Every structure is written in structure tokens, then in C-alpha cells.
Amino acid sequence: MRILLDTNIILEILLEQEKAKEVKALFDRLDQHETFLSAFSLYSIGLVFFRRKRHEVFRGFLNDLLLNGGVEVFSLLPEDMETVITTAQKFNLDFDDAYQYVVAEKHDLILISFDHDFDRTGRGRKTPAQIL
């Protein structure tokens, strides 16, 4: 399965939040999937940890998932931004959700997220528990 991890999935485990065990179970099986992250998520996660002065957590995330874990990063190009805009308008999404949606659509990925906003889109979303 080709999956795109939404920002909230990564933050759930790194911030040890309520559904961290569910995400950990998914991470334990990432080798069963082709796994991707958007550049927007990468930068958003960096912002969270830099603001908290937790640079080592960000470094660990980079090493564990991106550099050594096989998770690839997809970026959108400036010419994709029109699609982001129309997607946001069509489904009433914020920029970050529209960006994720367009990455998933462009690369035919299943979006893994806890964000209910994706439920009103054509592609929808799955939670980590739903793909385990």
C-alpha cells in the first residue's frame, strides 16, 4: 500500500499524545508499505520542534524515518498551487489540508490522518488502525 502520513500522525508519536500507541503500531509495520511525507509536513514538524527548542527530537525524526527509515518526501511545485486553491475551495479545507490532499491525489496515495476534515473529500482518509 502507498501511504502519505499527515503531519498529525508524526506529531502524535513525537509528542506522546493520546493515540501514540496506534501510530507506533503503524510505524512497526511501515516496511509493509511505500511510505511518503509531504515537504509541508516535514517543515511543519521542524517548526514545532524548533519552537520548543527540541532540536534533537527533530534530528531523531529525520534519522529514523527519512534518512534511515525509507520514508520519501514529496513536494508540490508552484504550478500545483492552483490545484491546492481549487481543492481548498471545493472541500472547504485549510491550506495545509489542501496541500496534503493534492500530494495524495497527485501520487495516488492513501492519506493517513486523524483529521476529520478529509472525510468530506473525494479521497477521504484512513487512520493508522484502519490500515493495520
66 falls within a domain: yes
Q: Is the residue at 130 inside a domain?
A: no
Domain range for 14: 2-123
Task: State pLDDT tens for residues 13-56.
Answer: 999 999 999 999 999 999 899 999 999 999 999 999 999 999 99
- SS3 call for 3: strand
Residue 90 sits in a domain whose CATH number is 3.40.50.1010
Condensed to tens digits (0 to 9), the pLDDT of residues 44-92 reads 999 999 999 999 999 999 999 999 999 999 999 999 999 999 999 999 9
Is 103:76 a contact under the CB 8 Å cutoff? Answer: yes
Number of domains into which the chain is organized: 1
Amino acid at 103: V
In this predicted structure, the answer to whether residue 6 has a pLDDT above a threshold of 90 is yes
Query: Which residue reads 499524545 in cell numbers?
Result: 17
pTM of the model: 0.95
